[in-house]
Structure 1
C-alpha cells in the first residue's frame, strides 16, 4: 500500500505540470490587459507600460511561465495584480466558505441518498422502484440555477424562512452559519442525491441475488441484515467512486451557486478574478482545483482496499 501511494503521488507531478501549461496558455491568450483594467481608461500609456513592467507582463510568455513554475516549486503562487495580496492566502481565505458548503451538501446527500437507495432495494419489485427511478432522473436533470431560483422564491421571498443570500462564518455562530447555507447546500445536494442513490441501488441489486446472499437467507438471516451486512458493503465501491467525484467538484467551487447566493468561496473568487483579468489568481485557483481532483481520486483509490479486503495494491 505504501509503495503504491508513493508511486501515485509521484505520478501526480506530470499531471499537474500539464494542467499548469494548459491553464497558463489559456489565461494568457485571452484578450484584455490587466494593467489597463487596474489603472482605468484615463491612464496614460506610460503608466500602463510601467505597471506591466512591475507585474512582469512585459516579458515573453515562455519566461513568464518558467518564472511562475519556479515560484510554485517554492510554494509561491504569486501576488494578485488587483489587490497585491499573496494568491495562496487569497485562495485559503475563500476556501473556508466552500468547505462549509461542501460539508453541509454532503450531509444532505448521505442523509437522503443512502437510506433512499436501501429502502428501494428492500421494496424492490413494487411501485416504489419505478417511482424512485423517475424521481432520480428528475433530480439529475434539474438545472441548479433554476432549482435555486425556485427555492429562493419559495422559502426566501414568498415564505421568508431563509435569507436570500449571504454567508456567515462558522466562528460567528453555528446557527447563523447553518441558517445561511441550508438553501444553497440543499440545491447542490438535490442534483447529486439522485445520482448517488441510483448508483448505490444498482450496485445493491447486482448483489441481492448472489449465491452468498441466498446462503445467508437459507440460514435464516433476516432480510434487513442481508441487505446491510452483505449487499450494502459490496455496493460501496462504485458508489464511492461517484461520491469522490462529487466531493471534488464541490470542493473545487460551485461557481453558479456561490455566485447566486453571494457566498465568497472558490467559485466566486474565480469569476471575480476572470472579470478583473487577475492572471495569478486565475492560474492559482485552477491549479488548486486540479490538485483537489487528483488528491481526492487518490484517496478514493486507497479507500477501495479498506472497503473491499480482496483489493490489494502490490
Structure 2
C-alpha cells in the first residue's frame, strides 16, 4: 500500500505540470490587459507599458511561464497584481467558506441519496422505481444557477426563511453558519443526489442475484438485513468512485453558487480575479482546484482496499 501511494504521488507531478501549462496558456491567450485595467481607459500607452514592465508582462510568454513554474516548485504562487498579497495567503483566507459549503452539500447529498437508494431497491418491483428513475434524471438535469435563483426567490424573498447572501463563519456560532449555507448547500446537493442514488441503486441491483446474496437468503436472513449487510456493502465500491468525483466536482460547482449567494470563497475569488485579469490569482486558484481533485481521486483509490479486502495494491 505504501509503495502504491508513493507511486501515485509521483504520478501526480506530470499531471500537474500539464495542468499548469494548459492553465497558463488559456489565461494568457485570452484578450485583456491587466495593466490597462488597473490604470483605466484614460491611461497613456507609456504608462501602460511601464506598468507591464513592472509586472513582468512585457516578457515572452515562455519566460513568464517558467518564472511562474520556478516559483511553484518552491511553494510560491506569486503575488496578486491588485492587492500585492501572496496568492497562497489569499487562497487560504477563502478556503473556509468553500470547504464549509462542500461539507454541508455533501452531508445533505449522502443522508438523502443513500437511504433513498436502499429503499428503492427494497421496493424495486413497485411503481416507486420508475418514479425514482424519472426524479433522478430530472435532478441531474436541472441547471444549478436556475435552481439557485428559484430558491432565492421562493425561500429568500417571497418566504424569507434563509438569507440570500453572505456567509457567517462557524466561529460565530453553528446555527448562523448553517443558516447561511443551507440554501446554497441544497442547490449543490440537488444536482448530485440523483446521480449518487442512481449509481447506488444500480450497483445494489447488480448484487441482488449474486451467489453470496442467494446464500444469505437460503440461510433465512431477513431481506432488510440482506440489503444492508450484503448488497449495500458490496455496492459501495462503484458508488465511492462517484462520491469522490462528486466531492471534487463540488469545487467547480461553488464557482457559480458562491457568486449567486455572495459567499467569499474560492469560487467567487476566481470570478473576481477573471474580471480583473489578475493572472497570478487565477493561475493559483485553478492549480489549487486541480491539486484537490487529484488528491481526492487518490484517496478514493486507497479506500477501495478498505471497502473490499480482496483488493491489494502490492
Q: For this structure pair, what is the TM-score category when the shorter chain's length is used for normalisation?
A: over 0.9
Secondary structure of the 1:310 match is coil
Structure 2 matches for 1:127-276, cutoff 5 A? 127-252=127-252, 254-276=254-276
Q: For the Cα contact (< 8 Å) 2:188–2:253, is it kept in 1?
A: no
Structure 2 Cα separation of the partners of residues 266 and 233 of structure 1: 35
What is the Cα deviation at residue 47 of structure 1?
2.3
Structure 1 Cα separation of the partners of residues 46 and 169 of structure 2: 43
What is the Cα deviation at residue 301 of structure 1?
0.5
What is aligned with 1:90? 90
What is aligned with 2:44? 44
- Number of aligned residue pairs: 314
Structure 2 Cα separation of the partners of residues 253 and 90 of structure 1: 20
What is aligned with 1:284? 284
1:128-182: CA deviation from partner (whole Å, max 9, x where unpaired): 1111111111111111111112211111111111111111111122111111111
Q: For the Cα contact (< 8 Å) 1:273–1:279, is it kept in 2?
A: yes
Secondary structure of the 1:254 match is helix
What is the Cα deviation at residue 231 of structure 1?
0.4
Q: For the Cα contact (< 8 Å) 2:120–2:129, is it kept in 1?
A: yes
Secondary structure of the 2:194 match is helix
Query: Which segment drifts farther, 181-190 or 23-32?
Result: 23-32
Structure 1 Cα separation of the partners of residues 297 and 176 of structure 2: 33
What is the Cα deviation at residue 49 of structure 1?
2.0
Name stretches of at least 5 consecutive residues in structure 2 with no aligned partner.
none
Q: For the Cα contact (< 8 Å) 2:251–2:267, is it kept in 1?
A: no
TM-score after normalising by structure 2: 0.98
Name stretches of at least 5 consecutive residues in structure 1 with no aligned partner.
none
Structure 1 Cα separation of the partners of residues 219 and 33 of structure 2: 74
Structure 1 Cα separation of the partners of residues 147 and 64 of structure 2: 42
TM-score after normalising by structure 1: 0.98
What is the Cα deviation at residue 252 of structure 1?
4.5
What is the Cα deviation at residue 196 of structure 1?
0.3
Q: For the Cα contact (< 8 Å) 1:253–1:265, is it kept in 2?
A: no
Structure 1 runs (4+) deviating above 2 angstroms are 42-47
What is aligned with 1:54? 54
Q: For the Cα contact (< 8 Å) 1:213–1:231, is it kept in 2?
A: yes
Q: For the Cα contact (< 8 Å) 1:253–1:266, is it kept in 2?
A: no
What is the Cα deviation at residue 220 of structure 1?
1.2
Structure 2 Cα separation of the partners of residues 60 and 147 of structure 1: 44
